[in-house]
Structure formats: C-alpha cells, structure tokens
Structure 1
Amino acid sequence: MWGTMFIALATGIVIGVVFQSFRIPSPAPPFLGLIGLLGMFLGQRLIPWIKLWFSHN
C-alpha cells in the first residue's frame, strides 16, 4: 500500500512540475481538488466499513 501511495505522490509531483514549467493552469482549484480527493478517499473507506457493520448486525 505504501508503495502505491508513493507512486501516486511522485506522479502528482512530476505532473505538477510539468504543468508549472509549461505554465498550464491547474485543472481544478487546489483547495477544491484536495477536498474532492479527500471525499473520494473517505468514500472508498466508507463502503467496506458499512458492509462490515451491517454484516455484524
């Protein structure tokens, strides 16, 4: 899991450097993009937790 997270972070950094070097605007405002990513992460973690909770009831 940590390897996947490192690859995702490294890829994001590389893409950020490329965007900045060509002066390409970010596809989403940084704060909104981070909130969206947080929502995606929480959503991915929420579904298994809900399934586990219902299986115990």
Structure 2
Amino acid sequence: MKPYLAALGIGLLVGALYSLLGTRSPAPPAVALLGLLGMLLGEQAVPLAKRVIHGQEVASFWKTTCAERVTGIPPEPDEKP
C-alpha cells in the first residue's frame, strides 16, 4: 500500500508542477518521454551521489547498474582473452 500512496503523492506534485509550467496533462509525447527520461536519471542520481559522498568508485557502477536501468540494455560481458 505504501508504494501506491507514494506514487499518488508524487503524481500530485508533478501535476501541480505541470500546472505551474502551463503544460497540459497528459503531456504531449515529447514532453512525456523527456519527463520519463528525467525520472530514470533522477532515480539513479541518489545512489551515485551516495557513492561520491562515501568516496566509492562511480564509473563501473554507472556502467553496470545505472546504464542498464536507464537504457534497459544489459551490460556486455567483459571480454577476456
């Protein structure tokens, strides 16, 4: 139940933001797709920021975890001779 309430709350915030920006809802396809891309990237920003704050390596985390979640394409296996 909690994820549904969170989704509803976030939806209300986004709807209010759309209204403030003068964008109709549902948004035109290009606006909606860019919004979805922003959501995917924003979702990955928190784990990346945590890694940076803790001084952990970021490049391979982006390549193996974030990029797969954003693009939906699994990383290629490492080639070993």
Which bracket does the TM-score occupy, shorter chain normalised? 0.3 to 0.5
More helix by share: 1
TM-score, normalization: structure 1? 0.47
TM-score by length of 2: 0.37
Relative contact order higher in (CA < 8 Å, ≥ 6 apart) = 2
